[in-house]
Amino acid sequence: MAVPLAMPFLSTADASTAAPANSLKPGIGDSPMKNTITTKDGVEIFYKDWGSGQPIVFSHGWPLSADDWDAQMMFFLQHGFRVIAHDRRGHGRSSQTADGHDMDHYAADLAALTEALDLHDAVHIGHSTGGGEVARYVARHGQKRTAKLVLVSAVPPIMLKTANNPDGLPIEVFDGLRKASLDNRAQFFLDVPTGPFYGFNRANAKVSQGIIQNWWRQGMMGGAKAHYDCIKAFSETDFTDDLKQISQPALVLHGDDDQIVPYKDAGVLSAKLLKNATLKIYPGYPHGMLTTHPDVLNADILAFIKA
């Protein structure tokens, strides 16, 4: 299957009342599969919760899982933070529900997690689709619990080309993603990381088969229905009003060689809409720069949190 190079392959409910499934302190001394909360609509959300200190909560991109944050979770854990990452509904180890694959549910699930773990003064970091989840969560649920937020290669304000977003991507781009996921999801989930996601299709790129296989592994853990529906969620949701409502300090990071979410119509515009944003563009960095350049990104995020 030919994979276009300059196109995205990405990342109404009230906050749920939920409690951790394990009776022990979350993340300590219990089976990993018991680290779940159950939302009010019966969806089990898997999460990791390590360490103590100020909490940092990570929201992953499409079609991945909490495992995509390994480099960040280990780094910030070693710097004295409590690190938390969840699998979005239908992704990873969370329930493969047929319903609720939209940004309102994603944000409500994140709210349920933060409330169940009683998180305060939290830093929320979202990559790609996860950046949209974070923006909607903070705007609608998390103003009192959130200290700062970081949007990395994130989909806001809106990816789809519309009358109000003339520089967006046409619907045919996302129809192509849906078709590819239906025709042969397993092959599609090899083509994306092999090509544009990490910039491995660029001349002189240092290709990592481990990174490619880990992307495929995470994708295939999730549900086909969730991944299919999520394409609409990340491409058609308009986060303009969400961004305008957020007053917390925000760090917006984007690579200028992002072949998935074009930075000029995403990070640049988001930084303008946020009330208190710092924008940093990385020359030559790809969409998956948190994985390809973790040392640089981690250091910049740490400096922002400590500032």
CB 295 within 8 A of CB 289: no
Selecting among 128, 153, 235, 270, the annotated active-site residue is 128
Selecting among 49, 91, 287, 300, the annotated active-site residue is 287
Using CB atoms within 10 Å of the CB of residue 228, give its burial: 0 to 12 exposed, 13 to 18 middle, 19+ buried.
middle
- DSSP letter (8 states) at residue 250: E
CB 137 within 8 A of CB 127: no
Does residue 293 have an active-site annotation? no
Does residue 31 have an active-site annotation? no
Task: Taking each helix axis as running N to C, give the angle between helix 294-306 and helix 70-78, from 0 to 180 degrees, rounded to the nearest 10.
Answer: 50
Does residue 287 have an active-site annotation? yes
CB 21 within 8 A of CB 37: yes
- Sheet containing strand 36-38, strands side by side: 36-38, 44-50, 82-86, 55-59, 122-127, 146-152, 250-255, 277-282
Which residue type sits at 268?
Answer: V
CB 60 within 8 A of CB 85: yes
Which residue type sits at 215?
Answer: W
Q: Quote the CA–CA distance of 100 and 276 in Å, as a whole number.
A: 31
Selecting among 258, 265, 270, 300, the annotated active-site residue is 258
Q: What are the catalytic residues?
A: 128, 258, 287
